[in-house]
Structure formats: structure tokens, C-alpha cells
Amino acid sequence: MTLQKQNLPELLPVPGFRLGTTSAGIKRPGRADLVVMALADGACCAAVFTRNAFCAAPVTVARESLAKGQPSYFVINTGNANAGTGEQGIRDARQCCESLAQHAGCSSAAVLPFSTGVIGEPLPVEKICAAMPAAMANLDENGWAAAADGILTTDTVPKGTSRQVRIGGETITITGIAKGSGMIRPDMATMLAFIATDACIEPGALQQCLSVAVEQSFNRITVDGDTSTNDACVLVATAASPLSVLQQGSEDYKTFSEAVTGVCIELAQAIVRDGEGATRFVTVVVEGGASSAECLQVAYTIAHSPLVKTALFAGDPNWGRILAAIGRAGLPDLDLEAVEIYLDNVCIVREGARAGDYTEAAGQQVMGLDELTIRVRLGRGSSWEMVWTCDLSYDYVRINAEYRT
Amino acid sequence: MTLQKQNLPELLPVPGFRLGTTSAGIKRPGRADLVVMALADGACCAAVFTRNAFCAAPVTVARESLAKGQPSYFVINTGNANAGTGEQGIRDARQCCESLAQHAGCSSAAVLPFSTGVIGEPLPVEKICAAMPAAMANLDENGWAAAADGILTTDTVPKGTSRQVRIGGETITITGIAKGSGMIRPDMATMLAFIATDACIEPGALQQCLSVAVEQSFNRITVDGDTSTNDACVLVATAASPLSVLQQGSEDYKTFSEAVTGVCIELAQAIVRDGEGATRFVTVVVEGGASSAECLQVAYTIAHSPLVKTALFAGDPNWGRILAAIGRAGLPDLDLEAVEIYLDNVCIVREGARAGDYTEAAGQQVMGLDELTIRVRLGRGSSWEMVWTCDLSYDYVRINAEYRT
């Protein structure tokens, strides 16, 4: 039993952004596992990376190169995270960039590396370098769908979305793809997400736009509470559109920014829907808090509770576990009498106890749904927050007990 | 597959402390689910309770009654936690105490109530009161083993231990029983533990002794990170021994205190060994920290990581997951190069990468053991901490997806 899989929608090409995918045989022969992305001259790039102290070698190298100037290429491999690989890992990531740079005739620093997969194994650099020409030969503005496949690890479906917005009489396209299924509790970005637009926008404004979008999307999801070593989310603006530069603070910028956030939310939710073993997609809303921080604290305590997650798997309205999670979230002076808990619109807890009008049948009906909302009202302020998560199933254990072996 | 079950050792009677167990038919007919404990005149009692803001009704009532004076009786039911039951829950807990008080001819405030089981269901007060005479009739200093059975919920084995220490020419006995298997991340005490001794000791010294013991035992274990609403740990000193009063700070007090801590550690470890679905008992040691707090932070991040726990279930030395957990534990300025990770005595990570002399075979050998230690050296100070946990198996999901339904 898994959540209904969504077909990959049509991914619209973004002028000035090409993608090439091939198989380097990293994990097994024939599987797409190497993706190259090429940015047109004049494109600019914003990025956010994991805050895990043990960040992977490619994250370190990409950060360094970005600080030197705008990139021209990305090289992404799956099947190996190049994390926990020390100095050798850094050398390996640089060598992949160097290999692509030689083929493309650019500097090595203009190539950003990204890796995802198993942690702690040496990166198979030779395989990657050997497959580089094939990936380069495939570069195409219509390469999104193949790339969405080529970056997956334990994911069961590719994830991508496109939007178009009309700004100043021009049609601006935003297309993004993402991968991620386990080790998902992004603390800056998801495992990997690549988003491109043909809009023209200054680096500072682009970074601001991405930071806002990530905060409301990838930073509001959790599958298992484990923050990856390789999280990265990149937004490229190719400036291929004739539209003039988007100015931060303008109405047009706002329209654009909201569209980017929309793309990120869709990708982030797709990651949760494809969470390892997930059978239910759950929105946790905490409102009436004294601050956003305490709302998030309660929301994540619920979203990470193994007991809540297994009750969700069972479709059992075992609200006592939600209540216990709220109680251990560490909020000072929490007034139990003021707390209310809802499953969708069914009130299950009021004044610290089961709501008088609650029936098990009503709770069961909501818990049987593929998608549902747990809503908590704290009754101590006007802040609110929302996070997305999934249940904890047999398959989560199976996938993670089998992975790597 | 579960950890090898330990037989309940002989539980030595403690003069001045009697236990009576019966079946009240709370969950199913015939199962022992009601326990009464009687304290001799002059006994004194120390207790610690859950810090979950949604503490159960019996916790509230027991705290209030303890504040009024020393108790004479405990009444403990399993099968129903009387938590999330609001004002009615408080009235129900009081009614159970009142029922026992009438049979015993004492005040209602001299009876402390304890409950464990499902959250949010009304307590079946009538069944409990009806069975009270039978429990009272069974009161016996040799009633420990029956009581150890009578307080269980999802536990698969009863848990208890006894120790004797020689102090001042006298033999002092300490016997304790505990229950707990899921919703285990005590933040003050375990689900339920009852310990008695025939030593004579002032209330303040007894409380100090219990607090120290709990901090080193029940507050160092986690099964699933979920803190219960009903945690309670009680230590009774009956003063039945001819030994004179133990003075806080004396050598004799120290001997006694260490024995109590030993009993608590044994009971706490027994809870982890019987953790829901547990197949491995894991000690997480974090040393070389700048403070105890940061050592605990890292230890619990590892112990709660679903990815580490499923790798433990699989017996897979997937050390990348341990490294990722350390990296996301939130330690400021963590020097990756200084971090070392060991499985028992096998060094797997040194200088931020796989140790040069590490072999997969050596890692696999340790991960195949029923009991193993994950040891992390942070290399930034001299503090250390140790917590005990278990793996995350299919059976954890099965038990918690089936429980209640």
C-alpha cells in the first residue's frame, strides 16, 4: 500500500537551460544516474545547502565555487553521496568538475557538483568521467523528464512541476525537479532540487526569492527527521526571456516569487508523498501559538513521533498519542484546558479531554483517508505554522533495513 | 526475533512492604491488572513523575496527596492510563483511592493512584472498585513476582530485581519492579517503577537518593523518543530494618544510594531490552564533549534516528547514518576531523572519513551482536554521557499499528 502515485506532469522547457542524462553504471548498468545541466551565458544562480555539520564533499566544493562566480554547468550523480569521504571526497568531486570543464571548455570552478546516494563509499570517479561525453551529447532544453529520473535514489517516482506566469506582457516559465524519499528533514533545502526560469533577475534578488520559497516548502517537510548530508536546492534564472530585470520589491517580483514558492511547495509535497514506505500524506497545522517557533516545535514533535506515525499507518484515531506528543514538546506553561485537536474538521480533544461530541466513527473516517490534516489549536496566541509529513509503515523499516545491503 | 528474554530473578521480600494482585477484568477477563501495595507504619516514600505537560489524572492526584503527607497504600491498574480524561479522570482516580481507603480504614489522601495503558478512555472505576477486596486479601510480602506481572501493558516479560547490601552490620534489601516497552523516553522516570527497601531514611535524603538514581537510569533510556503521560517511579523505605537512620552524606548513605542506583539501572535496561519490537540492545556512549548536555544531545540524536535504528535492525554497519546523525545534532563549530566513531572496539570513522584500517567484515561482526556499543569521540572536551536504546523493527510498527484496535 502506497499513496496514489502522481504521473510526472509535462515539464516545460526553460529557454537557456539544457539537461543531459546518461548511465554511468554507478549502481547498476543501464540505470540513468548521471545528469549534466548547462546554463546559458548570462544566467545567474541561487542556492541553499544542508546545515548538517557533516556536509558532503560536493556541497563543500559547490559552495566554494559559487563564491567565486556564476556557474555554467552542474554535474549530478546518484548512487553515491560522496559524503563521509574526507579529503579524498573533495579531490573526487573536483575531478568530476574538471572532467566536465575539459569537455565544455570552461573553468573547473564554473562547474558545480552534486551527489546523492549511499554515504561513506568512495565516489566512482572513473565511471563518472567516462560517461561525461554521453551526458554532454544529450544536452537538450527538453531534457527535464529524463533528468528527473536520473537523480533518483530510493524514490519510487520522479518529481517535477512547471508553472508559467504572465509578467509585463511576457510569459515566464519556471520548471523544477527534485529527488528525495528518506533522510528527509531538510534544514535548508531538500536532498536535491533544481529549478530554472527564463526570467532575468539579479543574484541577490534571486537568492532572496529562493530563500523565501525554501523556508515555506522544503523546510516544512519531514519524513523521518533525519537531515541529509547532501541537501541542495538550486534556482537558475537564464535571462533568456525578453522581459526586463525583475526588481526586488516590485509587484512583478512578487508575482514571480510566489510562483517559485508554488513550485517549491509542489516539489516538497511530492517528496513527502513519496516518503519511504509512506501510505498517508499528513498536514500538521498548529495555530494559536505564542510564536512561530513554538508552533513548529509542536508540529515537528507530532510529525516525528513514531507512535503518532504508526497510528497514522494503522488508520487508528489514537488521539492520545497526539496529545502526549503535544505534552512533551516542551512548551512552557501550556494550558491543557485551552488545547484543541482536530482530525480534518472533526474535533477530537477539547478542554484537555475527548470532545463531548466526538465519535470514534467520525475519527476513523478521517484516519482512513489517503490525505488528512491534524490541526492543533494551542489557544495562547495568534501564530501558526504548517508542516507536511507521512506515516511510518512496515515498508519504511524494510526499505531502510535493506538499503545498502 | 527478539532479544533473549531474561527470567525474572528471585525478588526478595522487603519487610514492611506488602503487595496484592488480582484481576479486575479491565482489558480482558482473567488477566492480572490490579495491584495494591501496602506500606508499614513509619515508612516514607519518595517519587518522581513525568514532565509531560499532559500528565495523567493519577499523576496529578498522587502529586497532590504526596504533598499532604506520607502514603499508606498504592493502587495501580493496567489496561487504562486515565490520561487525556479531563476532570472526570481526576474524579475517577480519587474514587479508586476512596474505595481502597474504605477497605483499609485510612484516609483517601493516604492512597496514591497509578495507571498505565491506553490513553483517552474513561477509567472503568466500577470494575476496579469491585476487585479491590480481592487485591487487599492477597497482600503479602512475597507478592512481588505477581505484582511485576500485574502492572504490564505491551511488555512481553515482567521486570524486577533485588539487591542486598550490608550496612552497619545489618542486611538491607532493595527490591524493585518496573513496566514499560513503548512510549519510552522518560523525562523524570519510567512508565512505572516501584522500589522498596527496609532501610530507615529521612524523606529528603530518600528523595535525593531516588533523584540521583533516576537521572542515571530511567532518564538515560529511549525506545521511541515518546515521553509518556504516566511516568512514575516510587521508592519506599519501610524502616523495618533495625539499622539506624541513614544520614545523607555518610558512607552508609553512599553505599545505600549506589545500590538503589544499581537497581534502577537494571530495571531501566530491562525496559529497553523489552522495547517494542527490539532485537538489539544498544549502548550509545558519547565522550570528549565540551559539556554533558552536548554529549546527551548527540547520544539522543543517534538513539532516535530512524535510519540508525533500522540499520541496527538490519545488522548493517551503515556508519554514514551515524555520521549524519552526529552532523545534525546541532553542535556549534563541530570539528569533523576530530570526530571518531567506534562499533564496540572497531574504529569505523576517523578524521571525517572511513578509518583506513576499517573492514566491512569487522563492522558486520559487531552489528550482528545482540548487544553492542556505538561510541562517539567528539574530541572537544572531557565530558561524556551514555544512553541505552534499541533498534526499530517491523515488530515495532506492527505492535503500534495494532495496539488499541
ipTM of the complex: 0.80
pLDDT exceeds 70 at position A403: no
Who wins on pLDDT, A53 or A4?
A: A53
DSSP code for B339: -
CB spacing of A226 vs B81 below 8 angstroms: no
Instruction: Provide the pLDDT for residue A405.
Output: 46
Distance CA B396, CA B186 (A): 18
* Helix, strand, coil share (%) of chain A residues, nearest 5: 35, 25, 40
Residue by residue, DSSP assigns A174-236 as EEEEEE-SSS---SSS-SEEEEEE---B-HHHHHHHHHHHHHTTGGGB-SSS---SS-EEEEE
Q: Does B389 qualify as catalytic in the annotation?
A: no
Which of A316, A392, A403 has the CB atom closest to B405's CB atom?
A: A316
Residue by residue, DSSP assigns B97-114 as HHHHHHHHTS-GGGEEEE
Cβ-based neighbour number of residue B69 at 10 Å: 11
What pLDDT digit, counting tens, does each position of A242-289 carry? Answer: 888 999 889 999 999 999 999 999 998 888 988 889 999 999 999 999
**Partner A contacted by B364 (CB < 8 A):** no
Tell me the pLDDT band of A2, cut-offs 50, 70 and 90. Answer: low
Distance in Å, alpha carbon of B72 to nearest chain A alpha carbon: 30
pLDDT exceeds 70 at position A189: no
The amino acid present at A267, given as its one-letter code, is: L
Q: Which three cell numbers, joined as nine digits, stand for A39? A: 546554463
From chain A, the residues in CB contact with B347 under 8 A are none
Distance CA A333, CA B124 (A): 31
Residues 57-76 of A with CB under 8 A from B: none
Q: What's the whole-model pTM score? A: 0.84
Per-residue model confidence as pLDDT tens for chain B (405 residues): 457 556 789 999 999 999 999 999 998 888 999 999 999 999 999 999 988 888 899 999 999 999 999 999 999 999 999 998 889 999 999 999 999 999 999 999 999 999 998 888 899 999 999 999 999 999 999 999 999 999 998 888 899 999 999 998 899 999 999 998 887 777 655 678 899 999 999 999 999 999 999 888 888 888 888 888 888 888 999 999 988 899 988 999 999 999 999 999 999 888 898 888 899 999 999 999 999 999 999 999 999 999 999 999 999 998 889 998 999 898 999 988 899 999 999 999 998 889 999 999 999 999 999 999 999 999 999 999 999 999 999 998 988 888 664
CB spacing of A83 vs B52 below 8 angstroms: no
CB spacing of B323 vs A229 below 8 angstroms: yes
Which of B52, B85, B118 has the CB atom closest to A328's CB atom?
A: B52
Strand order in the sheet with B34-39: B17-22, B34-39, B73-80, B111-118
- The answer to whether A288 and A371 are in contact (CB under 8 A) is no
Q: Is B284 helix (H, G, I), strand (E, B) or coil?
A: strand
What pLDDT digit, counting tens, does each position of A224-246 carry? Answer: 888 888 888 889 999 999 888 99
CB spacing of A400 vs B311 below 8 angstroms: yes
Q: Which three cell numbers, joined as nine digits, stand for B113? A: 493512584
Q: Is A44 helix (H, G, I), strand (E, B) or coil?
A: strand
Distance in Å, alpha carbon of A195 to nearest chain B alpha carbon: 26
CB spacing of A311 vs B351 below 8 angstroms: no
Q: Is A255 helix (H, G, I), strand (E, B) or coil?
A: helix
Which of A306, A392, A394 has the CB atom closest to B225's CB atom?
A: A306
From chain A, the residues in CB contact with B300 under 8 A are none
Instruction: Provide the pLDDT for residue B289.
Output: 96
From chain A, the residues in CB contact with B306 under 8 A are 224-226, 306, 392, 396, 400
φ, ψ of residue A2 in degrees (nearest 5): -135, 165
From chain A, the residues in CB contact with B85 under 8 A are 353-354
**Partner A contacted by B256 (CB < 8 A):** no
**Partner A contacted by B5 (CB < 8 A):** no
CB spacing of B398 vs A397 below 8 angstroms: no
Residues 125-164 of A with CB under 8 A from B: none
Distance CA A143, CA A11 (A): 9
Choose the catalytic residue: B50, B190, B261, B389: B190
CB spacing of B396 vs A306 below 8 angstroms: yes
A vs B, Cβ pairs < 8 A, gives 211
Ramachandran category for residue A238: left, alpha or beta (phi over 0 → left; psi -120 to 50 → alpha): alpha
From chain A, the residues in CB contact with B335 under 8 A are none
- The answer to whether A102 and A95 are in contact (CB under 8 A) is no
Question: Considering all CA atoms of chain B, what is the largest pairwise distance in Å, rounded to the nearest integer?
Answer: 72
Distance CA B8, CA A133 (A): 67
Residues 299-338 of A with CB under 8 A from B: 304-307, 310-311, 313-314, 316, 318-321, 323-329, 331, 334, 336
- The answer to whether B83 and B120 are in contact (CB under 8 A) is yes
φ, ψ of residue B284 in degrees (nearest 5): -110, 115
Instruction: Provide the pLDDT for residue B362.
Output: 95
What mean pLDDT do residues A147-159 have? 91
Instruction: Provide the pLDDT for residue A133.
Output: 97
Please list the alpha-helical segments (H only) found in A251-337: 251-273, 292-304, 306-314, 319-327
Ramachandran category for residue B288: left, alpha or beta (phi over 0 → left; psi -120 to 50 → alpha): left
DSSP H or E segment with residue B285: strand B281-289
Residue among A98, A108, A104 at smallest CA distance from A128? A98
Residue among B54, B75, B51 at smallest CA distance from B194? B75
Nearest residue in A to B306, CA atom:
A224
Distance in Å, alpha carbon of A132 to nearest chain B alpha carbon: 27
Mutate: best of B1, B90, B230, B310, partner A, most A CBs <10 A: B310
Instruction: Provide the pLDDT for residue B1.
Output: 46
Distance CA A57, CA A93 (A): 7
| First vs last C-alpha separation in chain A | 23
Distance CA B234, CA B177 (A): 10
Q: Is B373 helix (H, G, I), strand (E, B) or coil?
A: strand
Ramachandran category for residue A51: left, alpha or beta (phi over 0 → left; psi -120 to 50 → alpha): alpha
DSSP code for B85: B
B111-to-A292, A298, B40, B258 alpha-carbon distances in Å: 43, 35, 13, 29
Distance CA B271, CA B388 (A): 10
From chain B, the residues in CB contact with A328 under 8 A are 51-53, 185, 187, 226-227
From chain B, the residues in CB contact with A119 under 8 A are 318, 320-321, 323-324
* Helix, strand, coil share (%) of chain B residues, nearest 5: 35, 25, 40
Residue among B184, B177, B233, B231 at smallest CA distance from B21? B177
Rg of chain A over Cα atoms, rounded to whole angstroms, equals: 22
What pLDDT digit, counting tens, does each position of A33-85 carry? Answer: 999 999 999 999 999 998 888 889 999 999 999 999 999 999 999 999 999 89
Residue by residue, DSSP assigns B307-337 as HHHHHHHHT---HHHHHHHHHTS--TT--GG
